[in-house]
Amino acid sequence: MIEREIIHTTTASKRLFDVLQDVLQFLLLFLRIFLEMFIMLIQKVLPKRLKDISGEVVLITGTGHGIGRELALHYASLGSTVICVDINEKNNLQTVQKAKRLNLGNVHSFICDVSKRAEVMALADRVKAEVGPISVLVNNVGIMPTHPILQQSAEEIQRVFDVNVFSQFWTIQAFLSHMEEKNRGHIIALSSIAGVVGLSNLVPYCATKFAVRGLMEALHEELREGPYRNMIKTTTIFPYMTNTGLCKHPKVKFPSILGLLDPKEVAMRIVEAHRSDALEATIPSCLLHINNWTRLLPDHCGLMLKDYIDSGVESDLI
């Protein structure tokens, strides 16, 4: 009987000790988080420290026009070797010619339908043989049908997922081994502000951009918990509507504050996010904070704010 009481007391004491140990660890973690937040606030006031990317080999999808073309020009201007990938050979060669006139980084053109896995895998082999392993992947390519869900055909919905989502899976699977070979790398994915908040006439598009956000968050965790922790980084970009031709009928209530963005400015912000190792960034930067704050409000309050801003796209079938 006495032995049982001793065993029971010992067990209870051990449980209490384990609980106190867990509480102490949580408090120390909370203190560390608080200190990290304080350091980040100070860093936001100070000028950003941007890493040198002049020696990087950067592969960009969708370089035939818009943000992709501006990204190619910006990376080339910083001395990176740029690999331009697009399905449109004529437009892609125009981008390459513009980039080569800068006389800074080497620029290469490859034609590929990145929505097709076999083509992407073949592309990875060609790039490695002709240029060498890449160190930076920028998944930029995207399409945006803009009309109500019941007017979206099955082919349209399949295509927008093939281009906007599955292409990113295929490029990551094809080129991640290049980065592992180098023991360093960076994967940058373009989601959208439509991957942060749902919008009318963009149901399939929003679904693809939310999918990209989930893909990148899970990929970051997989890399963080694996052998390439801190070696291969990820950045997810959420741009507001940009003047690339995809937004055929933009709806903007406050054009002086939330007008269509210039592709050149968006490209600069993307490269800046890359060079500062940002995990995610909205363009403009305030939009992510506004969204996070709004999500804390009751649903109807968030919708009231959304209705007041009244920004989005009209149907392209009108």
| Closest to 242 (Cα-Cα) out of 287, 276, 211, 279 | 287
Range with the poorest average pLDDT among 69-78, 227-236, 281-290: 281-290
Query: What is the C-alpha separation between 92 and 107, in angstroms, rounded?
Result: 11
Which positions ≥6 away from 283 have C-beta within 8 Å? 237, 238, 239, 240, 261, 265, 266, 269, 270
Q: What is the pLDDT of residue 244?
A: 86
pLDDT in tens, 132-154: 999 999 999 999 999 999 999 99
Q: What is the pLDDT of residue 39?
A: 66
Catalytic residue from among 205, 228, 240, 308: 205
Q: What is the pLDDT of residue 274?
A: 97
pLDDT top residue among 87 and 303 = 87
Q: What is the pLDDT of residue 311?
A: 83
DSSP conformational letter for 316:
T
205 given a catalytic annotation = yes
DSSP conformational letter for 45:
H
pLDDT in tens, 149-199: 999 999 999 999 999 999 999 999 999 999 999 999 999 999 999 999 999
Phi, psi for 35 (deg, rounded to 5): -65, -40
Match 């896995």 to its residue by tokens. 117
Query: 63 near 86, Cβ under 8 Å?
Result: yes
pLDDT in tens, 62-74: 999 999 999 999 9
Query: 49 near 60, Cβ under 8 Å?
Result: no
H, E, C per residue of 48-102: CCCCCCCCCEEEEECCCCHHHHHHHHHHHHCCCEEEEEECCHHHHHHHHHHHHCC
pLDDT of residue 270 exceeding 70, the answer is: yes
Q: What is the pLDDT of residue 300?
A: 85
Q: What is the pLDDT of the chain when averaged over all its residues? A: 89
